[in-house]
Amino acid sequence: MKNQEIAQIFYAIADILEIQNVQWKPVAYRKAARALEALSEPIEDIYTEKGIKGLEKLPAIGKNLAEKIIQYIETGKIKSYEKLKKKLPKGFPELMEIQGLGPKKVKKLYKKLGIKNIKDLEKAAKKHKIKELETFKEKSEENILKGIELHKEKQDRMLLGKALPQAREIINELKTIKGVQRIEYAGSLRRMKETIGDIDLLVTTKNAKPVMNYFTSMDSVKRILAKGETKSAIILKTGIQVDLRVLKPDEFGAALQYFTGSKDHNIKLRNIAIKKGYKLSEYGLFSKKNNRKVAGKTENEIYRKLGMQYIEPEMRENTGEIEAAIKKKLPKLVTLKDIKGDLHMHTKASDGTTTIQEIAKACKQRNYEYCCITEHTKSLKIANGINEKKLEKQIKEIKKLNKKINGIKILTGIEVDILKDGSLDLNDKTLKKLDIVIASVHSNFKMEKKEMTKRLIKAMSNENVDILGHPTGRMIGMREAYKFDIDQIFQAAKDTNTALEINSQPKRMDLNGYMIKKAKEYKLKFVISTDAHNISRLSYMELGIAMARKGWCQKKDILNTLPLKKLMKQLK
Ligand code: DGT
Ligand code: CA
Ligand code: CA
Ligand code: ZN
């Protein structure tokens, strides 16, 4: 699927055009990029089946962009992009990935200080040359250095939400090769970590050669790092590395266990094996006495032989799961099937791209019992936030729709902004009319810890607030969590009966597994939501589920596993 590759190019074109002061076009390219990212069908299939007309029918894509897409599908390149790239220093795209540095600022830094790449930028910030430029604020240098730090951490790692579909697609392709028996992804991807260093694939087959040939010559391959009989490695055009290993069927379980990791989990497991008179490796579990293999075909039999319960991959981070498995006390984790509804989504009324009816129908197709429409509110101008009047209108519209649509209940709701002082962006009279109120922070992120703690507690204390939205506010690789006293916030959530959101947006994953596990100590309840702005993003639910599983959540911990009546009773 070339959707992501083309989206990345469109974003890059938009940035370059913006540097060149071109009007309008950057907006159009970004819109198209977002539409491509949201598309679930491979763009090249649409082109093969329906030609250029099919492409032009897609949202945000006109004739001009359709032609560029065709160029890419047919030649692997877009000519105008190749030309544009040459006009700018090579380090520019990377510079623009630093939080707070858009095309305009990058241009200014280049013109005034000759900054061409991240290295130059770091030097200039450390020498305090940047604060001398106008339009850069007092704290700019500090923020730039922090941004560089975050960027370094993220570098070479990809968001789970981006890596997962790519892994699945390669698996689907490889499955069609004759002789391939089992194929599975392992590593951090199988553990569903928020970011992925590389994708690890495992295959069993009688004939490795055609598999390796196919794998290294796929359309999506940018570079081959290694090609062998048992292991190959490539880099995809999207930038991520993929390792592929070919195994014998009777060692598949052992290899899957080993390459799923984590490393810390494996080390502890191996030590337990030694104490029990075994040797554990990627080839199997062996008796030390006579070197005979006692397990290896499945993961399950390995864990069993070591005297423990099977441990779900998401839990394998060496945070107590092995001890719990020995005591046979592992929780039964929540699954995607348990989810009965999605409680956070935006429509055209604020910054989403679908209508209420469309997104409700899509929720029904996912077999949900209910869904809740939650727009942004007025102070969030960039997201076209709505005021009391518009919301009251929407409430009426939803009431009407509920009479028309069967098989799903649309709840009325809002994602109300938490203002600087902890008060809410809409009045209580209107909030009271809603089924569900999510309160979220979208501004003034850089407050002192004490102040932010007070702000969040005040918001949760409002009797209308049911859920604290994306509680830490972090954006992976871009923005750190805001500072607050975690214990005080969790205690306040308990005291005010406020549920915490597990936001499934790939960039957010907020709360993450670690925080969820901590919040559970306070016996808090959670809501897993997609925060979808279009229909295809309703599928992010699986990412939120992954975070909940990493946080050891059971069905009973998650409110949107409840049938509607019980859900409404549990909320404030
Ligand atoms: P990543 O790729 O950085 O997101 O993280 P992983 O966990 O996928 O790490 P990766 O790809 O380097 O290796 C895959 C798995 O292989 C890892 O989770 C555990 C296993 N593994 C790798 N190196 C070692 C090692 O030195 N000792 C042990 N016990 N296991 C290892
Ligand atoms: Ca990996
Ligand atoms: Ca690897
Ligand atoms: Zn939000």
- The rounded Cα 60 to chain-centroid distance in angstroms is 23
Specify burial of residue 503 (Cβ count, 10 A radius: 0-12, 13-18, 19+).
buried
Rounded CA gap, 342 and 117, in Å?
Answer: 42
Rounded CA gap, 22 and 487, in Å?
Answer: 49
State the closest ligand 1 atom to the C-alpha of 262, by its place in the atom list counted from 1: 18
Which amino acid does the sequence have at 178?
K
Ligand 2 center to 185 CA (angstroms): 9
Q: Which residue has the tokens 């290295």?
A: 119
Residue owning the nearest CA to atom 31 of ligand 1: 263
State the closest ligand 1 atom to the C-alpha of 191, by its place in the atom list counted from 1: 7
Ligand 1 center to 342 CA (angstroms): 34
Residue owning the nearest CA to atom 10 of ligand 1: 187
- The rounded Cα 125 to chain-centroid distance in angstroms is 31
Cα dihedral 465, 471, 474, 476 sign: negative
- The rounded Cα 158 to chain-centroid distance in angstroms is 9
Which amino acid does the sequence have at 412?
T
Rounded CA gap, 68 and 6, in Å?
Answer: 9
Q: Residue 146: what pLDDT?
A: 86
Cβ neighbors of 307 (< 8 A, separation 6 or more) are 276, 326
3-state secondary structure of 417: strand
pLDDT, one tens digit per residue, over 339-348 is 999 999 999 9
Asked whether 459 and 442 are in contact (CB, 8 A), the reply is no
3-state helix, strand and coil shares in percent for the chain, rounded to the nearest 5:
50, 15, 35
Pick among 1.20.1090.10, 3.40.190.10, 3.60.15.10, 3.30.460.10: CATH of 158-247: 3.30.460.10
Pick among 2.30.30.90, 3.30.1550.10, 3.40.50.300, 1.10.150.110: CATH of 3-155: 1.10.150.110
State the closest ligand 1 atom to the C-alpha of 187, by its place in the atom list counted from 1: 8
> Among 168, 256, 2, which Cα is nearest to 539's?
168
3-state secondary structure 429-489: HHHHCCCEEEEECCCCCCCCHHHHHHHHHHHHHCCCCCEECCCCCCECCCECCCCCCHHHH
At the topology level, CATH places domain 251-326 in Beta Polymerase; domain 3 (3.30.210)
Phi-psi region of 443 (alpha: psi -120 to 50; beta: other; left: phi over 0): beta
Residue owning the nearest CA to atom 22 of ligand 1: 263
Which residues are bridge partners to 198 per DSSP? Answer: 241
Residue owning the nearest CA to atom 18 of ligand 1: 261
3-state secondary structure 75-128: HCCCHHHHHHHHCCCCCHHHHCCCCCCCHHHHHHHHHHHCCCCHHHHHHHHHCC
Asked whether 190 and 313 are in contact (CB, 8 A), the reply is yes
Structure tokens at 382: 């960039």
- The rounded Cα 402 to chain-centroid distance in angstroms is 31
Structure tokens at 488: 């005080």
Ligand 2 center to 532 CA (angstroms): 28
Specify burial of residue 486 (Cβ count, 10 A radius: 0-12, 13-18, 19+).
middle
Rounded CA gap, 301 and 257, in Å?
Answer: 11
Asked whether 417 and 425 are in contact (CB, 8 A), the reply is yes
Ligand 2 center to 263 CA (angstroms): 11
Rounded CA gap, 113 and 118, in Å?
Answer: 13
Residue owning the nearest CA to atom 26 of ligand 1: 263
Asked whether 402 and 364 are in contact (CB, 8 A), the reply is no
- The rounded Cα 172 to chain-centroid distance in angstroms is 21
Domain definitions of the chain by residue range: 3-155, 158-247, 251-326, 336-570
| Per-position DSSP letters for 12-52, written without gaps between them | HHHHHHHHTT--SHHHHHHHHHHHHHH--S-HHHHHHHHHH
Length of the chain, in residues: 572
Structure tokens at 14: 């938009």
- CA-to-CA separations, 404 to 12, 177, 401, 414, in angstroms, rounded: 44, 48, 5, 22
Q: Residue 102: what pLDDT?
A: 82
- CA-to-CA separations, 540 to 63, 202, 404, 508, in angstroms, rounded: 30, 25, 27, 11
Structure tokens at 201: 């694939």
Rounded CA gap, 329 and 397, in Å?
Answer: 48
Rounded CA gap, 512 and 480, in Å?
Answer: 13
State the closest ligand 1 atom to the C-alpha of 267, by its place in the atom list counted from 1: 29
Ligand 1 center to 266 CA (angstroms): 9
Ligand 2 center to 242 CA (angstroms): 8
pLDDT along the chain (572 residues), means of 10: 90 90 91 87 93 93 96 94 89 84 88 92 90 78 86 80 95 94 97 97 95 95 93 92 95 97 96 96 96 96 98 97 98 98 95 92 97 96 91 97 96 98 97 98 95 98 98 91 96 98 97 97 98 93 98 98 96 85
Rounded CA gap, 150 and 231, in Å?
Answer: 32
Residue owning the nearest CA to atom 20 of ligand 1: 259
Rounded CA gap, 537 and 539, in Å?
Answer: 5
Q: Is the peptide bond before 504 cis (omega within 30 degrees of 0)?
A: no
pLDDT, one tens digit per residue, over 208-247 is 999 999 999 999 999 999 999 999 999 999 889 999 999 9
- CA-to-CA separations, 482 to 273, 446, 451, 470, 494, in angstroms, rounded: 43, 6, 11, 11, 20
Average pLDDT over the chain reads 94
Find the helix or strand (DSSP H, E) in which 416 lies.
strand 409-417
Does the structural domain 336-570 have CATH classification 3.20.20.140?
Answer: yes
